[in-house]
Structures are given as C-alpha cells and as structure tokens.
Structure 1
Amino acid sequence: MPGDETEIKIFAGSSSINFAEKMCKYLGTELGKSQAIKFSEGNTFVKILEKVRDKDVYIVQTIGLNPNDDFMELLFWIDAFKRSSAASVTAIIPYFSYAKGDKKDEPRVSIRARVCADCLEITGVDRIVTMDLHSPQIQGFFKKPVDHLYGFPILCEYIKSKNIENTVVVSPDAGFAKNARKIATILKAPVAIGDKIRTDHNEKAQVLEIIGDVKGKNAIIVDDFTISCGTLIDTARALKENGAEKIYACVTHALLREKGLKALEESDIEELIVTDTVENPMVSGHPKIKVVSVAPLFAEAVKIIHNRESLSRLFDNI
C-alpha cells in the first residue's frame, strides 16, 4: 500500500550502488534488483529484474565522475520504469554535475542544466531529489518538484566534533559567501571571503586577496565542490600569507583525481572534509580526506516523500 515503508523500492544506477545500499540499510529495506551493462562500443543497457507495476520507485544515480554516461543511464532507467508501469519515478541525484551550466554568460553557448532538466522531464521523471546545487535557481528549470537538500549541517556536525578553537569560516569567493555565513552561524564563527577571478574554462581560478581578519585563527574553507583542489589550495596559500594558523577545507562533492590528490597532499590544508555524494574510490581512505555520509539524509527524505509528508522538518536547523 502507498506510504508503507516496507514498500519503498530503491534501485541503484551504476554510479551510486554503494550510496543506494546505505540508504536501504537506513530504511531497513532491500535494494531493488536491476542490471546495467556498458557494451564495448560505449552503449548502455539497463534492465529492471523485478516487477514495479503501480509502485512508487526511487532510482539513485549521481551525475559525477563520468557525467555523460551517468546522465544517459539515468534517462534510460527512468524510461524503463515508466515502460514497466511504475506509478511514479523519483530520481535521487546526490550530485548534479551539469548544475554548473546554469546561464548563457557568453555568446553561442548552451545552457546545459536546462537541457538536462528538459530531458529528464520528457523521459518521464516525476520528482528530483538532489543536494547542494552549484546554482540553486536550477530548481526553476523544472516543472516537476525538485527537493534541494543541504550537506553543510552534517559536515558542520563533524567539524564540531573536532573541537577546533578560534575558527574563521572562509568562502573562496563572493558567490559562496551566503552559504559560508550559514555555516559560520552553525559553528559560531566569523566569516572571511576570498577575492577570486576566473579568466577561462581551464578549471583554474586565482585568489587575489582575503577580505576579513584571519590572523592567528584556524580557518575552515567551505565550498560546494572541488575538481582539482586548485581554488581550495590557492585560498589556503592566501590564508597562510595573511597569518592563519591551521587550515581545513570542507566541500560537499569531491570529484578529485590523481593530480588533485597529489596537490592536496603537498598543500597547506590539514584535512579535506567531503560527503559521499560522488562514489570516488580515489578519495576513500586518503589520509588527508574525511568522508561523511549523507545517505541517511537522502533515505529520510525518501521516507518522508513516500509517506506523503512534508520535507520541511529536514530544514528546521538551516
């Protein structure tokens, strides 16, 4: 019957198997049976291995380290569920990579996030649940409901457990300053802001100066994602030049590869705190990285949605 927690049907795309299993463990349910195959020429094939007729189903697929493959697979899953007569299909997208492409800020470019939103809706998705969109206004690209969860309360709980004294929360740029202030409020700390410029699409930005008092303080750099650690490392360097003591960094989505990890190891950053929205084997177990799971938060959101209740209680402390 709808609303019965034992009837929650969670399925995993190939980019989020571990994450979906954590959600199922939290909910006390079994992961749905399914199969995804990538053929030698690059084509993706998906198949549901159990009946879903008249079921409310939840497909978990982050759009992360291989965004094009991840996204196409998600579309195929939605189509398969719809063609199998599922009552509704909710896409759980812990990290929505194309959220970075939210505007036409130069001539002759695509608004990639809008294209993705159109594709998801045309394929038949009924609802989206995601976390820490790079551009929150992307929710407005959808006609279907989009539930936007926040990772920073969970990250802040871990930071609090470290008992770091005399802290300052640092945003790498003005664009993330609003979120930095929310984090600073939770941590009861002041805020500083980096003055950052980006001149092209090479994923490198330059931090020119730090606005705010950081001398003698332990700094916590906060951002929504990192690909190369470049911005975090440049900010850390500027903080050291301005007299900061120990430096930590905290981001929701970690898309680091070998080059970024090597740069992190050689940097002034004591520890990088991330969530598990992206299943990144290069991050797990790294001595300078702490991974905090947000799967229970997504599981709680699914339970609330499935029981036809309000998600507002998940935002009581934000």
Structure 2
Amino acid sequence: MPVMTEPKLIAGNANKSLASAIARRMSMHRGMSVSLLNARVERFNDQEVYVEVYDNVRGEDMYIIQPTSNPANDNLMELLIITDALRRSSANRITAVIPYFGYARQDRRAKARTPISAKLVANLLTEAGVDRVLTMDLHAAQIQGFFDVPVDNLYAAPIFAMDVEHQFRGRLDNVTIVSPDVGGVARARELAKRIGCALAIVDKRREKAGEIAEMTVIGDVEGQTCIIVDDICDTAGTLVKAADLLLDKGAAEVHAYITHGVLSGPAVERVTKSRMKSLVITDSIEPTAAVKAAPNIRIVPTAPIFAQAILNIWNGNSVSSLFETETLQPIYEGLYPRP
C-alpha cells in the first residue's frame, strides 16, 4: 500500500542544483509544490559538520539528496549526520539518494592488507539509519550486496541511448560503441544493444597503478564514429589515450559518454586539448565552472529520472521500469522529442 505522507526532500551541500532540479521535476509530476526541506548544513570553525532541520519530519518519508563526490569525506559525513538528525527526529523512512557513490572503486581487495572501503561505507550508512539507497551506475554491481537494506541502482544507458539517437540521427549505421577496458564491456554492450550499433574494446595493460604500458583495439573502427562509454572519468588520462588510439586506427571521430564526471586535476584541460569531438557527462556530480566552460564537454540532466524514481519508491511502484527507454521517453520529451 502506498504511504499516505508526502515525500520530503532534504539536500546536503554536495549538489544543491541537482537537488533543486529534482524538486522542480517532482512538482511538475505531482501537480503541487515540492520543495527542499528548510535546514542548516554547515561547518564549525574546526570543520565539524553541523545539521539543524527546521521543519517537522515526524512520521515523514524522507529523501536525502547527496552525492559523495569531492570532497568525498566531507560529503559522506554530511550524509551520515543528516541521516542521524532525521532518525532522531522520528522520520518514518529515510532514503539516501546518492547520484554518485564515492568509494565505489574500492569494492574488493586487489592486494594484501588493503580495505574494502565500499563495504565500510555501506555499513556506516546502514548504522546511521538509512532504510533504502537510490543511486546511479555503481562502479561494481556487487556493491548492492554490501547493504542490508534495499538498493535501487539506476542506469544512465537509456538516457545516453536517447541522446545518441538524437545527436547522431541519420548516421547510426556508422557508429561503434567502445569500451575503454575489458571490465566495462557489459556496460558498453548494453548501450550498443539499445541503439543497434557495433561494439569494440580497448584492451589496456598496466605495468603499475596509474601507468598504462600498452593499449590495443579489439574490433574494426576504420571510418567509424566511435563512442567511448564508461561510468567514471577521473583524470581523463586513459580516456584521452583511448581516443588517440582509436583515431590512429582509422576512426573518423571519437566522442565519449561518461556517467560520473569526477574530472579531477588536469582532466578538463586534457579533454579540452584532446582530439575528442565531445565528452558527455551527467550532472550526478556538481559540475565546476571549468567543466561548464569547456567547449567540448556537455552535461545531460539526471533530475527527471531521479524525480520519477523517488515518486515510484514513494508510491510503491516499480523502479526497474525506468531501465527502459520507452518509460523514460515521456519524462525526457522536452530534451529528446520523438522523431
């Protein structure tokens, strides 16, 4: 049975623009105003996080919108402390909406005497009082099993499929989807299947962490418009090298679709100066001024899918229905009109 209380949103400081966009989208779907809860999320002089919620949340269905992006530790602590504040204020259910799940790359012990930090973060969230997690494109699917509460993992693939079909309309026959490594083949194959395109793989061999010794292309990219697909772009070093390799192998042009634009350090400069035509990212992480100003970086919104997912959770409806392009098409109608 659907809960009778209205969904209530609260945001940390990690991505307030996305939180506001989700609230506006929910207002459109609900036909009534949905706004962010009135609260303080601040720092003391020693950088301790302090939270004060001004509105009554007793018995409410709460949704905390907070990606744990850079600075990851600060944003994670905000999420934990907001959760504790809501739990101690007698909120009925608390859903952590984490568009970008930080520490997801530490999902296993790759070497001796190393942590599994993604599991630790899952434990922290559960112990703080989170009842459910809503996220997008987890770096490793098994992270869902780290939680003892339900986890809804949305996918950017259907959004990217609509964008690719819109941007490359009339020339999809010459498009090849490329995975930048063997580990991302399933993600690239999913997008290739959605738009009916060929698939290629960039196989890379590392001598040590952060240094790529050799890269080879598996598949024919001669004369093709190549689209590199991945979940995270951090320093963009691998992405730019993969683009160069594809062009050297005869690709006509190279684009990239990345869910989470971490884009730290020299990433924006590398992308701007690269031979790639464009880099498309989502707004799961708050884009910096440099990212917004970059001429070949474009941002697609995630507010429509997160707003609908929150409403589906609140109503007790299926979230997996949002994995299908047919379901998302009406939600993104303004951006990607039907041909």
TM-score band, normalised by the shorter chain?
over 0.9
Task: Work out which of the residue numbers 156, 160, 166 in structure 2 matches 1:161.
Answer: 166
1:17 aligned partner = 16
- In the alignment, does 2:286 pair up with 1:297? no
- Per-residue deviation at 1:174? 0.8
**Matched residue, 2:324:** 316
Judge conservation of contact 1:207–1:238 (CA < 8 Å) in 2. no
Whether the aligned pair in 1 keeps the contact of 2:158 and 2:324 (CA below 8 Å) is no
Residue number among 32, 52, 55 corresponding to 2:37 in the alignment? 32
Which range is displaced more, 306-315 or 109-118?
306-315
For residues 306 and 50 of structure 2, what CA distance do their matches in structure 1 show?
Answer: 26
**In 2 relative to 1, CA 104–243 (structure 1 residues): closer, same or farther, beyond 3 Å?**
same
Change (3 A) 1:194 1:57: same
Query: Alignment length, in residue pairs?
Result: 316
| Structure 1: distance between partners of 2:76 and 2:129 | 14
Q: C-alpha root-mean-square deviation of aligned residues, in Å?
A: 1.7
1:107 deviation in Å? 0.6
1:79 to 75, 84, 102: 84
Q: What CA distance in whole angstroms lies between the structure 1 residues aligned with 2:195 and 2:113?
A: 43
Structure 1 residue aligned with 2:237: 230
* Aligned residue in 1 for 2:268: 261
- Please tell me whether the aligned partners of residues 204 and 212 of structure 2 are also in contact (alpha carbons under 8 angstroms): yes
SS in 2 for 1:101: coil
- Asked if the contact 2:161/2:194 (under 8 Å) is kept, the reply is yes
- Residues 162 and 325 in structure 2, CA contact (< 8 A), matched pair in contact too: no
- The reply to whether residue 278 of structure 1 matches residue 285 of structure 2 is yes
Shift, 1:207, TM fit: 5.1
1:214 aligns with 221
CA offset digits 1:54-99 (Å, max 9, x no partner): 0010000001121111111110011000000000100000000211
Q: Taking every aligned residue pair, what percent have the same amino acid on both sides? A: 38
Instruction: Note if contact 1:251-1:273 (Cα within 8 Å) is conserved in structure 2.
Output: yes
Between 1:155-164 and 1:63-72, the stretch displaced more is 155-164
After superposition, give the CA deviation of every residue in 1:201-232 in whole Å (9 maximum; x if it has no partner).
44x54551100000111100110010111111
Displacement of 1:258 in angstroms is 5.4
Q: Does 1:140 align with 2:139?
A: no
Contact 1:13 1:36 in 2 (8 A): yes
TM-score scaled by structure 1?
A: 0.95
- Picking from 236, 239, 244, the partner of 2:246 is 239
Deviation at 1:199, TM superposition (A): 4.0
Alpha-carbon distance between aligned partners in 1 of 2:249 and 2:226, rounded to the nearest angstrom: 11
The whole-number CA distance in structure 1 between the counterparts of 2:123 and 2:176 is 41
Give the whole-Å Cα distance in 2 for the aligned partners of 1:201 and 1:298: 34
Q: Amino acid of the residue matched to residue 315 of structure 1?
A: F
Q: Which runs of 4+ in 1 moved over 6 A?
A: none
Return the alpha-carbon distance in structure 2 between the equivalents of residues 150 and 65 of structure 1: 21
Structure 2 letter corresponding to 1:307: N
CA distance in 1, matches of 2:213, 2:208: 11
1:187 maps to what in 2?
195
How far the C-alpha of 1:2 sits from its partner, in A, is 6.0
Aligned to 1:252: 259
Is 1:122 aligned with 2:130?
A: no
SS at match of 1:91: strand
Question: Structure 1: which amino acid aligns with 2:8?
Answer: K
Q: For residue 197 of structure 1, what is the aligned residue in structure 2? A: 205
Q: Is the 8 A contact 1:155 1:274 kept in 2?
A: no
Change (3 A) 1:207 1:24: farther
User: How far off is 1:257 after superposition?
Assistant: 3.5
1:52 aligns with 2:48: no
What amino acid is the match of 1:302? I
Contact 2:108-2:116 at 8 Å conserved across structures: yes
1:4 is displaced (CA, Å) by 5.1
Deviation string 1:127-185 (CA, Å, 9 cap, x unpaired) is 00000011011000011000000012112211211126211110001100011111011
1:93–1:128: 8 Å Cα contact kept in structure 2? yes
Q: Is the 8 A contact 1:207 1:235 kept in 2?
A: no
- C-alpha separation in 2, matches of 1:279 and 1:316: 26
**1:177 and 2:185 correspond:** yes
Q: 1:46 to 1:261 in 2, by over 3 A?
A: same
Task: Tell me, yes or no, if structure 1 residue 88 matches structure 2 residue 93.
Answer: yes
* SS, match of residue 62 in structure 1: coil
Contact 2:206 2:214 in 1 (8 A): no
Write the letter of the residue equivalent to 2:233.
T
Q: Is the 8 A contact 2:272 2:294 kept in 1?
A: no
- Structure 1 residue identity aligned to 2:113: R
